[in-house]
Amino acid sequence: MTANRFLQRVQRSGCLLPTGLLGGLWLKGLHPGLPGWSCPLRALTGIPCPTCYLTRATAACLTGDLDGGLQLHAFGPVVAAALVTWSIVSIRQRRLLPTGIPAWPLGAGVIALMSYWFLRLGVSLGGWPGPGLLQFPLAQLS
């Protein structure tokens, strides 16, 4: 089997990957005690990464706890909505990466995520004044 044919098969059969991810996060939201991966950056340096608490926030949003999701990470509802949309479009098009989606939202999302992370670091660890939405859940940092 050639590499090109293999990639075509993955593209066709991978349409269920977003739905599996969605289901796993939904279960994690219902049962927070399920095992997961810890942040390697935070484990090595003690500094939370840009996506720290995003998995928990997304899982909370998928189970209907929008307030809890926002307290963990402001991008939780956005990622939950994007994941649901990706799952639906992938299944409809039977493709892992749906066609017709522009690339600029991904770049804008990365810039917004990095900006949010720098603000969170300043408010939580640098002593900057800011609303509670910008603070890391410090009780969970240890």
Q: What is the pLDDT of residues 93-119, one digit of tens each?
A: 888 888 887 889 889 999 999 999 999
**SS3 sequence of the chain:** CCHHHHHHHHHHHHHHHHHHHHHHHHHHHHCCCCCCCCCHHHHHHCCCCCCCCHHHHHHHHHCCCHHHHHHHCCCHHHHHHHHHHHHHHHHHHCCCCCCCCCCHHHHHHHHHHHHHHHHHHHHHCCCCCCCHHHCCCHHHCC
Please list the ranges in the chain whose pLDDT falls under 70.
Answer: 1, 11, 133, 138-142
pTM: 0.80
The confidence score (pLDDT) of residue 141 equals: 46
Determine how many CB atoms are found less than 10 A away from the CB of residue 89. 17
